[in-house]
Amino acid sequence: MSYLGPEFEPAQPRRSPLRRPLVVALAALVPGALLGWGVYAAAAGPGDPGGSDRAAVGTPTSGPVSPTATDGEKSPSTPVPTTSGPLQGKVVVIDPGHNPNNFRHTAEINRKVDIGTNRKECDTTGTSTNSGYAEAKFTLDVAQRLRALLQSQGATVKLTQDGDRSYGPCVDERARIGNTAHADAVVSIHADGSAAGNRGFHVILPASVHAGSADTRAIAAPSRDLGERIAGDFVRVTGSAPSNYIGDGTGLVTRKDLGGLNLSTVPKVFIECGNMRDTKDAALLTSGAWRQKAAQGISEGIVSFLRG
């Protein structure tokens, strides 16, 4: 479906179902969320790519993949202990979606794993921009930026993979890492591969599922809380609009077909930060400055959730 309106148009009540759920959920917590979106829109104007210098902030886009990281069975990154900050004692697991090397291991990642409701591929390669910037590089970069932000607040942070594996992990293991860590919050970072013209972010919430080894009944509500806070803060910090192609403008979508959510026993959401196949969204996703904003928005949502 096509997107007819100008990009980053300020929120308009008639076309913004986002207002209702987010305002209801977030008004007391982040009253500036939607205002921030409007202010950004007015200041930036349509089509502002938010900067195009990939190296403007933080790590280079090539990512700090260790040249010696060839052991697919290595354990995920070790949490760095922290000593102070408002999130001291809190554990956050960040799941960078896919793996830059998955395409070299199609047999392994196509292996089916049990996700409770059914069996599904261990992992997928993910998408890329039309110019070849891989989703897996994007997710790892945002995850590393997010880790730094959360650690600076005192949280203990663990990544499900840190460029240190030859493929995967499989989606069931990704879920297990959060569960085993007894994480207070888990966020899986992604970018979508939808049709050109489809723009914006959306947060994916776990449906209440009880099938086989999947039981999300206890985490559905807290995960929704986590997701609503992340969506509100993502709007405010990045200025990006909620998806124009899924979620009816709320920026929130509930799914029961994702193993990473179905198998989680701790509050968890996915975020699709934008559409890599849309050139305007791709201009944002390939910008280091924008990825820092994305990490900041997600971080603030997590902090809000953890502090209650």
Q: Which residues bind Zn ion (CB under 5 A)?
A: 97, 126, 190
Q: Measured at the alpha carbon of residue 200, what is the angle toward residues 19 and 135, in degrees to the nearest 5?
A: 140
Separation of alpha carbons 95 and 113, rounded Å? 18
Closest residue to Zn ion: CB criterion: 190
What is the closest distance, in whole angstroms, from the C-beta atom of residue 43 to Zn ion in the complex? 30
What is the closest distance, in whole angstroms, from the C-beta atom of residue 75 to Zn ion in the complex? 23
Q: What is the DSSP secondary structure assignment for residue 92, as one 8-state letter?
A: E
102 or 151, CB closer to Zn ion? Answer: 102
Report yes or no: 253 and 246 within 8 Å, Cβ to Cβ: yes
126 or 168, CB closer to Zn ion? Answer: 126
239 or 260, CB closer to Zn ion? Answer: 260
Question: At 172, phi and psi to the nearest 5?
Answer: -70, -35
From the list 7, 173, 272, 300, the catalytic residue is 272
Q: What is the DSSP secondary structure assignment for residue 104, as one 8-state letter?
A: G
Separation of alpha carbons 236 and 140, rounded Å? 22
What is the closest distance, in whole angstroms, from the C-beta atom of residue 138 to Zn ion in the complex? 9
CB atoms within 10 A of CB 281: 27
- The reply to whether 121 belongs to the active site is no
125 or 223, CB closer to Zn ion? Answer: 125
Q: Would you name the residues annotated as active-site residues?
A: 272
